[in-house]
């Protein structure tokens, strides 16, 4: 979610401030206009079941902000109902983007009101949004030095927040937990999963985190393998010609060279340069979805969450002057040197000890189908050969082709048609069907249909 240079950011901030001032004015106007309700922007039924702060350190006030939405119509007792945790990418972008623009139960509209999302991921599961790492969204970093600089640091804070959350109510205690996330969370999701596996091995039964699976949407996970795919991808989609492809390939190799030298920050900048070059060559509104005429409007979330009444409704505990940003440049800078580092080995371990879903919007040019398949096939995991040989099944929802599902044992990959990087925004109902069927192992997400291979290989 980060491809702005400093001056654009400044412009956006100023512009945002201007909009917010107007909106606050309008919102206070409508409040006085209406004698029936004081919750114009935030209907009572849209309130999270719980929200607030989860401390991550015993020595400081640093804490992770959360909003939790209980399942709307659970099909199992709540104490056994799966719990999904959502992590936004960036680095430094707030999970409130996921909440209010993608998969939460209420989405922000152009006029900064909320409308129900029929594709909400909490239809039958509990859904927890965490603003991570600290310093992101409404989360608190008591000093900038406490913001984690690597995945282990991010995971340590997330582990503290998750265990705190589970202790908030006995109904959370034994629920299966699924960690999900998007984009740069293609690193956070494996990192916290891996951290949980390591911690669980040394904890008593009753203290373990009940990790049941992990899902990565349009993820950046093994960047050095992913960065070399953009030129060919764009070329075969018809967006650049061969000369441009060669130029882009040169730029990609610069990023790879810097990774090999261990110049991590420069490598991240070089990757940004590749994407900038591709965008300049194509003139696309956004690389997140090559069919879009305008970029995703996720800054609506920023405008909405800066309305004082909305902050109050969410239990945000900051003074009036605090400006909420959908993506924090400070956190982005702190993690800049981490961006190109791979967490592939973590996914390999998670495939042995848990279940992993990866899904991509077919129109995403940044962390899309080609980018993900490129690194997945290089995994050192016993099942990879069988996975690559597995049938790519045509996946239908309500009789229409929704995409493709390829599965082998613990690994499932889904390509979703008609979607870009913010996949649940583009395909709310299909993304809901996907996550529900994968968690519950239904349909194509369950046991692979018999293809005349001996039965005993299908344990899960």
Ligand X SMILES: *[C@@H]1O[C@H](CO)[C@@H](O)[C@H](O)[C@H]1NC(C)=O
- The residues annotated with a catalytic role in the active site are 183, 364, 421
Nearer to ligand X, 57 or 263 (CB): 263
d(CA 400, CA 451): 24
The full DSSP string for 115-137 is EE-TT-TTSSSEEEEE--STTST
C-beta separation of 301 from 96 below 8 A: yes
Binding residues for ligand X (CB under 6 A)? 261, 263, 266, 273, 276-277, 280, 451-452
Two tokens, residue 63: 């804490």
**Residue 368 Cβ, how far from ligand X at the closest point, in Å?**
20
Minimum separation from the CB atom of position 334 to ligand X (A): 19
- Least separation in angstroms between CB 408 and ligand X: 16
Buried b / exposed e across 191-228, counting CB within 10 Å, b at 16+? Answer: bbbbbbbebbeeeeeeeebebbbbbbbbbbbbbbbbbb
Residue 366, Cα to own-chain centre: how many angstroms?
A: 14
Distance of closest approach, residue 415 Cβ to ligand X, in angstroms: 22
Residue closer to ligand X, measured from CB, 212 or 275: 275
Closest separation between CB of residue 276 and ligand X, Å?
4
Q: List, in order, residues 6 or more apart from 360 with CB less than 8 Å away.
A: 217, 218, 367, 368, 369, 371, 372, 413, 414, 415, 416, 423
CB of 12 to ligand X, least distance (A): 16
Q: DSSP state, 101? A: I
Contact assessment for residue 271 and residue 223, using Cβ atoms and an 8 Å cutoff: yes
Shortest approach of ligand X to residue 44 CB, angstroms?
46
Task: Specify whether the CB–CB gap between 295 and 250 falls below 8 A.
Answer: no
Torsion, Cα 73 78 82 86, to 10 degrees, reads: 80
- DSSP, collapsed to helix, strand or coil, labels residue 92 as coil
Name which of 34 and 246 has its Cβ closer to ligand X: 246
Nearer to ligand X, 160 or 278 (CB): 278
Strands 356-361 and 126-130: unpaired
Nearer to ligand X, 218 or 266 (CB): 266
Residue 65 to residue 267: CA distance in whole angstroms: 31
Which residue lies nearer to ligand X by CB, 159 or 264? Answer: 264
Q: Which two tokens stand for residue 362?
A: 């077919």
Nearer to ligand X, 280 or 378 (CB): 280
Look up residue 204 and give its two tokens. Answer: 């008593």
For residue 385, give Cα distances in angstroms to 28, 42, 216, 378, 382: 60, 50, 21, 10, 7
For residue 340, the SS3 value is coil
């Amino acid at each position: 979610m980060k491809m702005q240079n400093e001056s654009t950011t400044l412009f956006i901030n100023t512009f945002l401030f201007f909009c917010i001032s107007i909106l606050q004015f309008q919102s206070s106007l409508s409040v006085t206009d209406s004698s029936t309700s004081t919750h114009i922007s935030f209907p009572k039924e849209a309130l999270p079941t719980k929200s607030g702060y989860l401390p991550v350190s015993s020595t400081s006030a640093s804490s992770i902000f959360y909003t939790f939405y209980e399942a709307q119509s659970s099909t199992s007792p709540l104490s056994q109902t799966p719990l999904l945790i959502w992590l936004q990418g960036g680095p430094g972008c707030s999970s409130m983007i996921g909440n209010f623009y993608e998969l939460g139960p209420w989405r922000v509209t152009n006029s900064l009101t909320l409308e129900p999302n029929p594709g909400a991921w909490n239809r039958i599961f509990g859904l927890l949004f965490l603003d991570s790492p600290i310093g992101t969204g409404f989360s608190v970093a008591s000093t900038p030095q406490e913001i984690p600089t690597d995945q282990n640091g991010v995971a340590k804070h997330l582990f503290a927040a998750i265990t705190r959350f589970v202790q908030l109510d006995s109904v959370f205690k034994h629920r299966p937990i699924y960690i999900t996330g998007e984009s740069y969370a293609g690193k956070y999701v494996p990192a916290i999963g891996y951290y949980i596996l390591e911690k669980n091995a040394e904890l008593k039964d009753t203290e373990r985190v009940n990790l049941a699976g992990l899902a990565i949407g349009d993820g950046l996970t093994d960047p050095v393998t992913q960065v070399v795919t953009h030129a060919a991808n764009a070329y075969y989609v018809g967006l650049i010609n061969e000369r441009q492809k060669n130029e882009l390939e040169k730029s990609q190799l610069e990023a790879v060279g810097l990774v090999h030298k261990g110049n991590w920050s420069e490598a991240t900048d070089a990757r940004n340069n590749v994407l900038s070059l591709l965008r300049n060559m194509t003139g696309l509104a956004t690389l997140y979805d090559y069919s879009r005429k305008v970029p995703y409007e996720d800054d609506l979330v920023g405008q909405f969450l800066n309305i004082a009444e909305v902050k109050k409704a969410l239990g945000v505990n900051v003074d009036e002057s605090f400006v909420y940003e959908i993506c924090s440049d400070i956190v982005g800078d702190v993690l800049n040197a981490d961006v190109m580092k791979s967490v592939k080995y973590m996914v390999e371990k998670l495939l042995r000890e848990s279940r992993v879903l990866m899904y991509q919007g077919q129109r995403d040019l940044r962390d899309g189908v080609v980018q993900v398949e490129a690194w997945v096939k290089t995994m050192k995991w016993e099942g990879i050969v069988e996975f690559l040989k597995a049938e790519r099944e045509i996946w239908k929802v309500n009789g229409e082709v929704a995409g493709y599902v390829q599965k082998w044992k613990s690994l499932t990959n889904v390509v979703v048609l008609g979607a870009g990087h913010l996949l649940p925004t583009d395909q709310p109902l299909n993304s809901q069907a996907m996550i529900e069927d994968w968690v519950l192992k239904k349909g194509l997400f369950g046991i692979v249909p018999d293809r005349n291979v001996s039965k005993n290989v299908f344990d899960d």
